[in-house]
Structure 1
Amino acid sequence: MSRTEPVTLTNMCMIKKRDKILVLNRTDPIWPGLTFPGGHVEAYESFNDSVIREVKEETGLDITKPKLVGIKQFYDRNDQRYLVFFYIATHFTGKIKESNEGKLNWMTQDELKHHQLAYNFDHDLPVFFNSSISEHMLDGKRDELF
């Protein structure tokens, strides 16, 4: 039995400014709706560097000291593991500049709940907002928080 498997590595970052959170309204037809900025980890790139780069590409902001707060895992259409490293950033500089990923808006946590979220993103939010939860596991049999 092999102890290795193909895996896709990605990240997502909740950027906080006092009581507001930066949200991205994705235009992607495969996964549209509100979510946080993020993307893929490139070869030989640290997870920390990848989230800093992705946030810059999607928002124009330069984040520092992103804090890893949890992880999501699921299996994609090809039955391969897909990992999303969840970060929170409260230190940043720059001005918001939208990308082709979608429109950006500052919202409160409560406002976020009243908008169209990306599929299953509502199940990810407890990992960001509840420090006693660090993992969201989603597969064909379960959708659990740990």
Structure 2
Amino acid sequence: MTGLSTLCYIEKDGKYLMLHRTVKKNDVNKDKWIGVGGHFEADESPEECILREVKEETGYTLTSYRFCGIVTFVSGNGVTEYMHLFTADGFEGEPIACDEGELEWVDIDKIESLHIWEGDKIFLRLLAEKVPFFSLKLVYDGHDGLISAVLNGKEIKK
């Protein structure tokens, strides 16, 4: 099975807006901290998807954002997800409560200490280093264990 999704890290004052996924049942991201985003609807481009998902989950309309890369997640459970990764540094609107968990502004340098996916640490470092557009493949063992990470076709982690 294959899925298409987007994820955005909205930045303000040295913090990212993080979503603590605590609500959904049978959520692969249950209790993890992630950016905001979600799955494509019919005929959407990555940009249309991220604008819609951010608005639905946060109440914000993005005014300045960047498409940073594609992350291929291989779950080990027969599911592959192609996630389109964005950052944003401009937005407007009033925040709303998110029905998927709690939204919280977190210092960027403290995010790695949160309960996040091991592979997320890799692409968060790439974002921090302002690496140009990249392709990252993350292979998991069916649980939380990261088996391999391949950046732009070259293995970086076993």
TM superposition score normalised by structure 2: 0.78
How large is the RMSD of aligned CA atoms in angstroms? Answer: 2.1
Q: Distance in 2 between matches of 1:98 and 1:118?
A: 24
How do 1:111-122 and structure 2 match up within 5 A? 111-118=110-117, 120-122=119-121
Report matched runs for 1:74-89 at 5 Å.
74-76=73-75, 79-89=78-88
Higher deviation after alignment, 62-71 or 42-51: 62-71
Aligned equivalents of 2:131, 2:93: Cα separation in 1: 32
The one-letter code matched in structure 2 to 1:8 is G
CA distance in 1, matches of 2:63, 2:96: 17
State which of 11, 14, 19 in structure 1 corresponds to 2:14: 19
Gaps of 5+ in 2: 141-146, 153-158
Contact 2:119-2:138 within 8 A present in 1 as well: no
Unpaired runs of 5+ residues, structure 1, are 1-5
Q: How does 1:2-81 map to 2 (within 5 A)?
A: 7-27=2-22, 28=24, 29-32=27-30, 33-76=32-75, 79-81=78-80
Q: Check conservation: 1:12, 1:39, Cα contact below 8 A.
A: yes
Amino acid in the other structure paired with 2:135: E
| 2:129 paired with 1:123 | no
1:3 match: none
C-alpha distance 107-80 of structure 1, shift in aligned 2 (>3 A): closer
Relative to structure 2, which stretch is displaced further, 111-120 or 30-39? Answer: 111-120
Q: Give the number of aligned pairs.
A: 141
Residue 99 of structure 1: CA displacement? 1.4
Q: Aligned partners of 1:119, 1:41: CA distance in 2, in Å?
A: 24
Q: Which amino acid aligns with 1:74?
A: F
Distance 1:99 1:123 in 2: 26
CA shift for structure 1 position 80: 4.9
Q: Secondary structure at the match of 1:65?
A: strand
Greater strand percent: which structure? Answer: 2
1:126-137 to structure 2, matched below 5 A, reads 126-132=125-131, 134-137=134-137
TM-score by length of 1: 0.83
* Greater Cα shift, 61-70 or 117-126: 117-126
Q: Is the 8 A contact 1:14 1:128 kept in 2?
A: no
Cα offset, 1:119, TM superposition = 5.6
- SS of residue in 2 equivalent to 1:21: strand
Deviation at 1:115, TM superposition (A): 1.9
Please state whether the residue corresponding to 2:123 is helix, strand or coil: helix
One-letter code aligned to 1:81: T
Give the residue type in structure 2 aligned to 1:17.
Answer: K
